[in-house]
């Protein structure tokens, strides 16, 4: 079964577009394939971050001021 794809218009910075085109030629992959892979990787990283946030949800909160005081007390700043 073929994967259904959707079309979108994306505006790239000219230098970024040039780099994508060059990578496309070097790797024999389409710009679309490169962009899809990059977006999937970014979304996977976001999913990992959300899992980490959930795992730490029950940890006590500490203010910035308190953290600075602790770092100074421990001799790290």
| pLDDT tens-digit series, residues 26-66 | 999 999 999 999 999 999 999 999 999 999 999 999 999 99
pLDDT in tens, 2-35: 678 999 999 999 999 999 999 999 999 999 999 9
Return all residues near 62 (Cβ < 8 A) that are at least 6 apart. Answer: 70
Would 52 be classed as within a structural domain?
yes
**Residue holding tokens 């959300």?**
50
Would 26 be classed as within a structural domain?
no
Alpha helices in the chain (DSSP H): 14-27, 31-55, 64-73
| Residue pair 34/23 in contact by the 8 Å Cβ criterion | yes
Would 14 be classed as within a structural domain?
no
Would 49 be classed as within a structural domain?
yes
- Domain residues for the domain of 54 are 31-77
- What the block records as the tokens of 30 is 């389409």
**Residue holding tokens 């203010």?**
63
pTM equals 0.68
Count of domains observed in the chain: 1
């Amino acid at each position: 079964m073929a994967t259904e794809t959707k079309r979108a218009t994306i505006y790239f910075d000219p230098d970024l577009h040039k780099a994508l085109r060059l990578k496309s030629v070097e790797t024999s992959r389409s710009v679309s394939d490169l962009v899809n892979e990059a977006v999937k990787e970014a979304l996977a990283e976001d999913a990992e971050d959300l899992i980490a946030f959930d795992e730490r949800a029950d940890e006590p909160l500490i203010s910035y001021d308190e953290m600075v005081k602790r770092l100074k007390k421990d001799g790290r700043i």
